[in-house]
Amino acid sequence: MWTEEQIAALAEKQRCFFRTGKTLDVDWRLEQLRRLKAAVLANEKAIEEALAADLGRSAAEAYFCDVGAIVLEINEALRGLRRWARPETHFSGFTCFPSLVTKVYKLPYGVSLIVSPFNFPFLLSLGVLAAAIAGGNTAVVKASSKSFRSTEVLKRLISETFPAEYVALVDGGHEVADLCLAQRFDKLFYTGSPRVGVRVMEAAAKHLTPVTLELGGENGNWAVVRKDADLRDAARKIVFFKLLNAGQICINVNQVAVAEETAEAFLAAVKDELRRQIGDDPLHNPEYPCLITEAAWERCAAEVEQYRDRVLIGGAGERETRKYAPTVIYPVGKDEPLVRHELFAPILPVVPFPDAEIDRLLDTIAEREHGLALYVFTKDMKWAKRVMATQQYGGGCVNEVCLHLMVKGVPFGGVGHSGMGAYHGEWGFREFTHPSTVLFGRTRFNLSLREHPYTGEAGARKMKLLRLFER
């Protein structure tokens, strides 16, 4: 069990290491990224086994969502870091004459704290760590106590790869997380719920520490299926996503709104897809994941029980294995409690709406807390582009789910109750660095425009030049 004194000592040890300037060297950072990549690949089997024990994930799902995704993140940093870290050169402008050169340096914050969740314990710790390393920071990783087998693997992987004064892992429950948050770090990156995100910001505010928050969103993420959509395609993709990690994904479809004109056909397609993808007995399919804890299972079961009379598909689970069958609840009104909070479970509420009243539905979505993701299914690309360009949400897809997360070179992040800041690739590098502007002055031929006197004939001449230069 970590103590306040131990965590304070660890943070100070990393601060001393950072002050040596070793992390500023780009070649050294690249070597640390290569070491991290090699460690992930060397521990691939252990990672798969830990994810199976914690979340019931299959080897393919473990590689797709954690191992392979981390490798992609590191590879992007390896290819782009020299360019990202290069100082920018700017013309200072005639107002600054004769000092014509200004540089913008991308400097690391220093000692960073990364608080990672249980649902993707490797990707959301090591993937963020890759950005911290690329930025030239040291890092303390606070891993989740819920996915404790994954945390054990992470602890060994990190300790065997990096010295503790550079990268270290802290394990334990919420009380240990609070001890970490009480320390003064130079950068804080948290992934989790909005409720805890508020606590994180409060703690960071005491030290004026810059914060990145990746949150699930208070009201969950909507998928909207218009009547002109390819219903089988929409059902196939939504079912795949709801099965993934048993719905325990921050960008997952929390509820789907379906045009009532095609709702029955969509639900039939969902039923067919569930049978095709996971079989008639998902509770005994070894590929189907489980919920993280018995408490999470109980919350899921209690949620379903409140809507027992509207359970269309599923509605059963096994407490012993923490598995709960993918459950479709229909019909659900857009203002019911079930669609007013993040579910984080294999529950899919289906909200019918008249297709002609799509704008009213979008107004309802816009009035609530902004989601981390938005998904729309339609053949009307003009409408889809207008919606995606005007709604407020973290990111999303048209006629697809989740894959915007996998695109290289683009940011991932939320807004409002779904977070602040963005990362992945260069955006992650930016999140862990601050731009520092430096003007290089000259000692000869300096203009006296900024100096007194400001009145009389000299002042008049200065005003003419200032009006010429400052425009």
- The answer to whether 180 is a known catalytic residue is no
HSE (side-chain half, CA atoms, 13 Å) at 145 = 10
Q: What's 43's domain CATH number?
A: 3.40.605.10
Q: Which 3 state secondary structure label does DSSP give 107?
A: strand
| Lookup: tokens for 185 | 């770090």
User: 203 and 239, same structural domain?
Assistant: no
Question: What pLDDT does residue 96 have?
Answer: 85
Q: How many Å apart are CA 196 and CA 199, to the nearest integer? A: 5
Question: What pLDDT does residue 461 have?
Answer: 86
Task: For residue 375, give the H/E element and its range.
Answer: strand 373-377
Strand order in the sheet with 187-192: 167-170, 138-142, 111-115, 187-192, 211-215, 419-420
Q: Which of 65, 96, 250, 290 is catalytic?
A: 250
Q: How many Å apart are CA 333 and CA 349, to the nearest integer? A: 9
For residue 343, the enclosing domain spans 221-368+373-410
From the first residue on, what is the mean pLDDT of each consecutive set of 10 residues in the chain (471 residues)?
Answer: 95 98 98 98 98 97 95 97 98 87 98 97 98 98 97 98 98 95 97 94 96 91 98 98 97 97 98 97 97 98 98 97 98 97 97 98 96 98 98 97 93 95 97 97 84 86 83 76
Question: Could you tell me the pTM of the whole model?
Answer: 0.95
Query: Facing residues of 230 across strands?
Result: none
**Cβ(342)–Cβ(196) below 8 Å:** no
Burial of 261 (0-12, 13-18, 19+ CB in 10 A): middle
Q: How many Å apart are CA 431 and CA 91, to the nearest integer? A: 25
- The answer to whether 96 is a known catalytic residue is no
Q: Which of 48, 61, 76, 214 is catalytic?
A: 214
User: 284 and 201, same structural domain?
Assistant: no
User: 302 and 252, same structural domain?
Assistant: yes
User: 127 and 85, same structural domain?
Assistant: yes
User: 351 and 263, same structural domain?
Assistant: yes
Gap between the terminal Cα atoms of the chain? 61
Burial of 9 (0-12, 13-18, 19+ CB in 10 A): exposed
User: 425 and 394, same structural domain?
Assistant: no
User: 384 and 306, same structural domain?
Assistant: yes
User: 450 and 332, same structural domain?
Assistant: no
User: 342 and 304, same structural domain?
Assistant: yes
User: 226 and 212, same structural domain?
Assistant: no
Q: For residue 87, what is the DSSP state?
A: P
The alpha carbon of 232 is separated from its chain's Cα centroid by a whole number of angstroms, namely 29
Which alpha helices (H) appear in 103-230, and where do they start and end? 123-134, 148-161, 174-182, 194-205
Q: What's 291's domain CATH number?
A: 3.40.309.10
User: 402 and 334, same structural domain?
Assistant: yes
**Cβ(221)–Cβ(374) below 8 Å:** yes
As for how many domains the chain has, the answer is: 3
User: 263 and 138, same structural domain?
Assistant: no
Of 128, 122, 149, 166, the C-alpha closest to 23 is 166
